[in-house]
Structure formats: C-alpha cells, structure tokens
Chain A
C-alpha cells in the first residue's frame, strides 16, 4: 500500500527494533562495567554502541528512502510532525530539569546552607558559588590562584556565540523559505551557511570548555556551579551537534534534489530542531552566563 493508492503505509516485519534495543542494552551494560572499573566494559560498550549506530543509521536511511519512494501520505506527514513536536517537548522537559537544578541551587539550596551556621559557619550564599567546601569564586574572566575558580566572561565567547546562533536561525528560516518558493539555490546556500554557523558555534563552545578547564579552574567538579554549568552547556552542545547532523542530512538530501514544497518533513524537522537549539541558547545565555 502506498500514497499512490491512498492507503497508510504500514512497514513489513523487521528485526531492527529488536537489534536497536539490544544494542542499547549492551552499550548500557558495558558503560556500567566500565564506570565500575571493570576492564572489558569499554569494549562491550563500544560493541553495543556500534550495533546501535549501524541500525539507527540504516533505519533513518530506510525511512528517507521510503519518503522518496512516495509511500507517505499527507496523513503520515501529519503523524511525523506530531511525533517531532512530542520529541521536542521531551527535550524541553530535559532542559527544564537542568535549569531547575540551577535555579533551585541559587534560590533555595545555597541560602539554606548559608543559614545553617552550625554546619557551615561563615559561608555566604553569593552566586557564583561552589558550595561551602568548594573553591572560591572570582570575578568572571579573572585568572584564579589555588583553591579559586572563575566563571567565563559573558561579553566574550558567549556573546559571540549568541550572535552566531541568531544569524543561523535567520539563515535556517531563509533556507526553508527557499524551498517553499522553489528556489533551490537559496535552500542550498541557506542550509550550508546554517551548518557553517552551527559548526562555528560548536567549535567555540568546545574551545570555551577547554578554556574553563585550563585557564579558569572551572571543571565539572567545581561544586554546584561547575556541575550546572557543564550540564547545561554540555547538554546544549550535544543537542546542537545532533541538530547540525540533522541539517547536514537535510543538505545532502536537498543537494540530491529531494524535498518538495508539499513534501518537506525531513527539512522541516531539522529546521525546527535548530530553532529549538537557538531558543534554548537564549535561556542559557541569560541564566547561565549573564545573571
């Protein structure tokens, strides 16, 4: 059954779901063994991850192939859109968890610790803070001595990255408009530039993380500040990486002449994802770097 004869496409039996789940399970098992210092863990995790990667890749390739073969009806496209919206909702919720960790620490945890003179005498709840036993925070961008750390200066890389993401968001929409107007050149240029911005952003984020470790003594272990900082920026960078990959897939497909004005879910999803990454960054910029 296919779009041509008006039916909803129902795929044939396949072992991929079983293999993907199995790969994930083996990867998880290996990761746990490795975390607990058992040697073969890394290899087991790598094997599981490889199985997972291979079949996820084949699965996506297959769905793209099906889309190009024209089996998906408008009904199916609607289902895809709802699924993508639902997926983004889960990612919003995950970000909310991390932001909640940050705001809870600032609004509640630190003042409560500071109020407890018996357990933590002399500790003041001033953000940024690595807690009563952590290193002392300096002004952003200052070079720390022993038992000190400094946050990144907001006017530096974070401000630059905000501009880059802002530009990339406009470019992504411009590329999308290109498809709607059936202007292929605009679509390809826009996507290419969006990806370039995305890669630039990721490179700068990686550099700033290296800088934090090397220059500012700001690490994952720097109390609640380090933990929330790296959790939020790291998770955001991961999302940006996945979104860039999605955009790259969309660019490859567009280059092959795929996507039509009325059949564009793959592109739309990638652009949605990128806008989500953009929007999340605004919150990051304000709450993590600025305030």
Chain B
C-alpha cells in the first residue's frame, strides 16, 4: 500500500521520444495520437480508393482482377470508417470534450489510451490480410459481411472479423469514456442544456455506439460460429436465415451513419457561430433534433434492406422511419441558416469547410431521402447512386467537418497560426475534387451502373473519367493539409489563446497545462 501511495504521489516523469507516446495518458496526447493515426489511415484508405478509381477510369479489367478489386473495396470501407473517420472524431473528442466542459481530463485517461491503442493493432491485422494472397487474401465480401458470401474467404476473412471485433471494443470504450466524462466531470454550472453542441452531439453518438457496436460484434461472432464451430445461424438448411445477418449489420450500419455524422454536425455548430459572430440559433431545438435523429437511427435499419425482400409492412415502416430523419435534419439546417442570417460573416478556412458541409449535408441528405423511398430504392439499390450518397455524407460531410474542426482548433492545440492561404487552397481543391468525384456517380447510378463491379458498359465511360479525375484531385489536395499541419506544428507564428475573435466557449479561456483544467472553472452558458 505504501509503495502504491508513493507511486500515486510521484510527480509526472515525462518520458521522451517514442516512450512518451507509448505511455501517454493525457487527453491531449491521446487526442493527438488519434488524429495522427486517423490521418495516416486516411491516406492509406485513400490510396486504395484511388487505385479503385484508376481501375474504373476506363471499361475493361486493366489494373487488377475482380478478386483484388473486391478486397481493396472491402478494406477501403473498413479502413476509412473504423480507421479514419471514427478515430478522427474520437481524437477531437479526446482533445475537446475536457477543454469544452472544464474537466481536468477524460474520466478514465488510461481507458482512453486503451481505446486508442486497440486501433493500430486492429488496423495492422486488417492491412496484413492484403499480404495473404496465397490463402485467399483480404476479406472480399464488402464491409457489410453478408453471408453466405462472407463464409467464403480463408485466413484473411477471419483476421478481418477479429480485427473488427477489436475495433468494436475500442469504439465502446471510447463511448463509455465520453459518457462518463460528460456526466461525471462537467464544470459547475454547466448543465446538460448548456453543453457545447460538439459535446452534446458526441454524447448522443456515444449512446448510439454503446447500442450499435454490440450489434456488429454479435453479427461477427455468430459468423465466426458459422464459419468454424458448426452453428447454422445463417444457413437455411439448419433453420437459419442469411438475412438475419443483414438485420444485425444494418442495425449497426444505420446507427453508424449517425454516429459519424452527428459529431460532424456538432463541429459545424461550433464553427458557424464563431464566424457569424452570433450565438447558435436555436441551441435547444438543435440539441433536441440531434437526439431525435439518434432515436430514428435505431429504427431505420430496414431501409437498407428493401431490395432483399422485407414483408410490405416492414418495408413501409422502415421507409417512413428513415424518411422521418429528414425532419430533425431540416431543423438543424434551418437553425444554421438562421445563425448565419445577419451575422458579421468572415470566411476563414474552418468557415469555408463548415459552409460546404451545410450545402453537402443538405444535398447528400436529400439523396438519402430518395434512397429511403422503398419504390425508388428498388431502382437505385446497389447502384453508384448509393456510393454517391454514402460518400457525399462521409467525405463532403463528415470529413469536411473534421477538416474544418482541425483548422478551427489547430491554433488552440499548437499555439500557432496555420497558413490561411494554403488552407483555403486546400478547401477549394477538396470541394472541387469531392464534387467532381461524387456528383457523376449519382447520374451513373440513375442510369443503372452497378457498384462493387470493376467493369462497366461503354456508355458509362465519360462520367467515370470525371469521377476518377475528381477523386485524384481530392486525394492530392489532402497532401496540402498534411503540409499545412506539419508547418504549423514545426513553427508557425504564435497565436493567442482566443485565436478567433468570435470564438466563445471554455476551450478558448485559458492556456492550460498538458492536461485540461486543474481546478474546475465555473460557467453559466455554453458560450461564456
């Protein structure tokens, strides 16, 4: 006991070099690890996407066989969702939640570190499957893991299942920590209603994660049973049904869409008021809309399964459930517009990304509304339209919000200014690239081009060319971001604590130590 008390009382011994990062527990260090890791995965997953797009540049199989194409397609989705976007949001949470609610750290700093360290190990397992081509290669059934297709594949498929299980554990730990932090460690005076919108959206997303991650874990565990232990959960000969796996997967997947987009909504709700120099319009209604959207997320999974044969009553139920999500989404968008209304707008890089998000979120959301309509979904199912919708929401949506958030908080994190001109260049090239990449896919889908197929009919060539050019533009533009970040960290000009004159919130009030706040500050509003 005495030894332990001594260990607790011992002052921080700051390790240096690699060891510092391996043993880090501070929320800022973990946040940085998350963000750097997410950026690395963005480039790896992005390289896969560019390889796929290069294959689709022209008809015919030119660069790879169908099997390799399927593997890259599967890994691209898994890496981008579980390796890039979700970890980036976790990194922002780790950095910002304690700062924004006036907490000394996340509630469980060591669990925060564990949540992070599971990621590189799991992604290493995932990527290692690419090098197992002799025994079947990487998983090739798509990130949706539909049986009986997913029952094929050897070692790589098993490794991917175990890796994704680890990612589920990581996500659940992150969510637990966020919930415990927000409920346990708020500064006095910060009621739930006064929570900054980024923190509120993360709280809601965390609850979704706690319910949804087990559904994916369950689906994968049952598949592992079918693959190796002789169970017949998904085999009609034994009384099972492969469609049940789809129900489980989409219960997770439909929630996952909201888990990825809600914190992005939160980021944008922080940025817009800062650069409109007005508080967020309708703080409470925005918060309630986010909550309502999360509730709808839990009952909308069947809208992904209309084409696989639901009973008509089920198809209708899920159709209306999914379409209802447009209501809270509209509330949020109108609140944003009202926030901008008669504000003193200025257009720095974070604001540009946030404004683009508003536009693309609306566009992608409307496309989602089309896909949710059961009769139309039968037409659009498994076409490039679905790819376009998903990528509008995840790239022009979640990724743009994350990039905007990164620019927004970069001066706060590093104490230095970033290069505004390069930031704007990055934004405009990204915007151009993303829309050039994804808009043609709506048209291709409507015209009937399938997704997940490496070849296509001649008449689809022209839009595919544009899409590939756009994808490369989008990918290369992210190198500018890398350069901007490195240059800022390496010695940009010094920035004030309250770098943005319009910024409100606890995170801008004091330059804190490596951990967040020591003694809890008091606050009476989300924008002190």
Show the binding face of A for B, using Cβ within 8 Å: 1-2, 6-18, 20-22, 24-25, 28-29, 31-33, 35-36, 59, 62, 65-66, 68-69, 71, 75-76, 78-80, 82-83, 86-87, 89-91, 93-94, 96-98, 100-101, 104-105, 108-110, 112-113, 119-120, 129-134, 219-221, 223-228, 230-231
Contacts and interface: CB of A to CB of B under 8 A. Distances in A.
Nearest to A230: B231
A109 B241 contact: yes
Nearest to B159: A32
A55 to B, nearest CB: 10
A227 B238 contact: yes
Interface string B226-269: 01111111011111110010011000000000000000000000
Given A14-B113, A28-B159, A69-B1, 6 more contacts: A10-B105, A66-B8, A71-B8, A79-B183, A83-B108, A101-B244
Contacts of A228: 233
Contact of B241 (A68, A90, A112, A133): A112
B105 A65 contact: no
A15 B1 CA distance: 21
A80 B180 contact: yes
Contacts of B13: 12-13
A98 B238 contact: no
B84 interface: no
B125 A28 contact: yes
Contact of B166 (A24, A66, A130): A24
B108 A79 contact: yes
List 7 A-B pairs, minimum CB-CB distance, nearest first. A131-B239, A79-B184, A97-B218, A224-B239, A25-B121, A17-B113, A21-B117
B248 A97 contact: yes
Interface of chain B, main secondary structure: helix
B211 A93 contact: yes
Interface of chain A, main secondary structure: helix
A18 B23 contact: yes
B166 A8 contact: no
B68 interface: no
A29 B125 contact: yes
B124 interface: yes
Given A79-B183, A82-B183, A105-B240, A21 B121 contact: yes
Nearest to A68: B1
Interface string B302-340: 000000000000000000000000000000000000000
B179 interface: yes
B219 A97 contact: yes
Nearest to A104: B244
Given A20-B114, A36-B158, A14 B217 contact: no
A20 to B, nearest CB: 6
Contacts of B184: 75-76, 78-79, 82
Contact of B5 (A22, A25, A69, A83): A69
Contact of A93 (B20, B22, B215): B215
B179 A29 contact: no
A89 B207 CA distance: 9
Contacts of A1: 518
B105 A83 contact: no
A109 B239 contact: yes
Contacts of B297: none
Contacts of A75: 184-185
Given A18-B22, A93-B215, A83 B180 contact: yes
30 contacts: A7-B518, A10-B25, A12-B10, A13-B12, A13-B23, A14-B113, A15-B23, A17-B114, A20-B114, A24-B118, A25-B125, A25-B166, A28-B125, A28-B165, A35-B228, A59-B110, A83-B176, A90-B172, A90-B211, A93-B211, A94-B217, A109-B239, A120-B236, A131-B238, A220-B231, A221-B231, A224-B233, A224-B238, A224-B239, A230-B231
